[in-house]
Chain A
Amino acid sequence: MDFEPTIIAFVCNWCTYTAADLAGTSRLIYPANIRLIRVMCTGMVDPKYVIKAFLEGADAVLVSGCHPGDCHYINGNYKARRRIKLLKEILPQFGFEPERLKLTWIGASDGIRFADTITEMVSEIRALGPSQVRGKMVL
């Protein structure tokens, strides 16, 4: 059976979520492997949200928000970038490949970019294979 990854995406309300909406209304096609979680700003994504997603078996996690300078809460995306940097230092020490965690900036008008990013990420994770956590008792 072919492996279909599950990707959890934390997207900010003002930019990437709007882009996802636009991708939908523009009838762009992208793989259905992504589970969007809308947050007000990437600056509210505590590392523990990402950790929880991985421990529950997510094959990858995407955090995506406004471009630098465009965050509706001024600097939430800069704070998010530090937290992703932090997680990229921690998670690989326990065997999570760095590619499984991604940070992107996708603006509200970037529906095409959103669809492309998801498509690309799904094929990358499909090639990488399932997360080590799948089906294991990790609590």
Chain B
Amino acid sequence: MATTAKINVKHQDFLASLQAFFKSVLQQNDIGALLVPQHLPMKDVVMPTIVTDPEALDAADPLAPTFPLNAATLLSRLTRKPLETTIAAVLRPCEIRAFIELVKLKQGRTENLIIIGTDCLGAYPNNDYARVVEKEGSETTRKFYQNVLSGKNPPLEGFQVARACQACEHPVPEGADIVIELFGVDTEHEMFLEARTPAGEKLLAALNLPSAKEPDQRKKAIQTVVNERITYRDQMFDETRKRTETIEKLTRYLAGCVNCYNCRVACPVCYCRECVFVTDVFDHEPSQYLRWADRKKSIKLPTDTIFYHLTRLSHISTACVGCGQCTNACPNNIPVMELFRMVAHKTQQAFDYEPGRSLEEPPPLSVFKETEFPDLTGETEQLNH
């Protein structure tokens, strides 16, 4: 059963208590490094960092409402080969879910890894975060989580978190060894850590923290958030469907796309080492372009835009965790996440698959059953004959 530990927050400074907790984690003999987002010294940008010195955690801030990239990709690099020490990684729920997908694809390992997940309150698109910080300065993080937790909407005047976050029905980290709880918690006075796995239990025990009961109002608080987000999500699906329901509409939706492929570079579950769209398969013969033009009177350049997006949808929509990094990375403001989530919702349902739910569930396109989907080939009919 999950064990919960409690830390008393001093001077109503949740972040300082969080940093002290990280420090105590890194002081454990068997933990050699911490992967955690920090404010960079040169500029107020928050990026994932690897910390090996427990004294170097003063700028750690996993609650800053910014999410410049999905760290699953970075963790996949860090765990590619066995390390002699254990890494503790502080991640958002969608980073954990994406990482679990990568582990299943043999692009990451869970050995010698402790995942510390935070309840996720959402984050701003990259461009907006810079403007939020301009306005709110060093108070950004504190104001943000306080306002979100007290139900203020929008959490900070004039700015709404990314649509991906507003539509995300997984605000609590599944698959973490330890969860830093925020929903339903009085962050002015207390912090709750929940161990979800034997490795998490072991770490909490080593830290000698007093155990506690999960706050009563937590379950309800989570349910409220999830319900709101599902409502938002379903509206987003409806809107997106109306904008893309024919190829003509989809072409309009993607009209500004310049095939820069940033969206797939940013996508944590786009797993191919080399994407077919940058291989010589797509170095078309010069004369080919003219033939295409001849057939259709004129063609748009670059070519293969719709082809690219539909292919990516078929390759990775079953693994899409809805993190929104594709939209975040697009230089042309194309709502890529909206499209991918809409399609992913269907493809994941079709295979009863939820990315990141369990390491035991193989990616649906990597397996099959001998008898399934009989209606596809009309076998039901034949059997009845």
Residues of A with C-beta under 8 A to B311: 47-48, 51
Mark A69-81 against chain B: 1 for CB-CB distance below 8 A, else 0. Answer: 1000001001101
Residues of A with C-beta under 8 A to B371: 68
Which of A1-9, A29-37, A82-90 interfaces with chain B? A82-90
A133 within 8 A of B: yes
> Are B251's CB and A90's CB within 8 A?
no
| Bound complex: CA A96 to CA B313 (Å) | 15
Within 8 A of B (CB), among A109-126: none
> Are B292's CB and A139's CB within 8 A?
yes
| Bound complex: CA A75 to CA B299 (Å) | 40
> Are A87's CB and B373's CB within 8 A?
no
> Are A85's CB and B244's CB within 8 A?
no
30 CB contacts below 8 A, A to B, read A47-B314, A48-B276, A48-B311, A48-B315, A68-B370, A78-B370, A81-B377, A82-B365, A82-B373, A85-B351, A85-B373, A85-B376, A86-B347, A86-B364, A87-B314, A89-B347, A89-B350, A90-B310, A93-B245, A94-B247, A95-B245, A95-B246, A96-B247, A103-B377, A104-B377, A105-B377, A132-B246, A132-B247, A139-B306, A139-B307
Min CB gap A92→B, angstroms: 9
| Bound complex: CA A86 to CA B376 (Å) | 11
A127 within 8 A of B: no
> Are B368's CB and A75's CB within 8 A?
yes
B interface with A by C-beta (< 8 Å) = 241, 244-251, 276, 292, 296-300, 303-307, 310-311, 313-315, 317-318, 342-343, 346-347, 350-351, 364-365, 367-373, 376-378
Q: A48-B314, A83-B365, A85-B373 are in contact. Are A93 and B343 (CB under 8 A)?
A: yes
The listed residue (A81, A135, A137) touching B376 by CB distance below 8 A is: A81
In the complex, the chain B residue whose C-beta lies closest to that of A80 is: B368
> Are A135's CB and B296's CB within 8 A?
yes
Min CB gap B330→A, angstroms: 19
> Are A94's CB and B246's CB within 8 A?
yes
Residues of B with C-beta under 8 A to A55: 247, 306-307, 310
| Bound complex: CA A89 to CA B245 (Å) | 13
Q: A94-B246, A94-B247 are in contact. Are A88 and B376 (CB under 8 A)?
A: yes
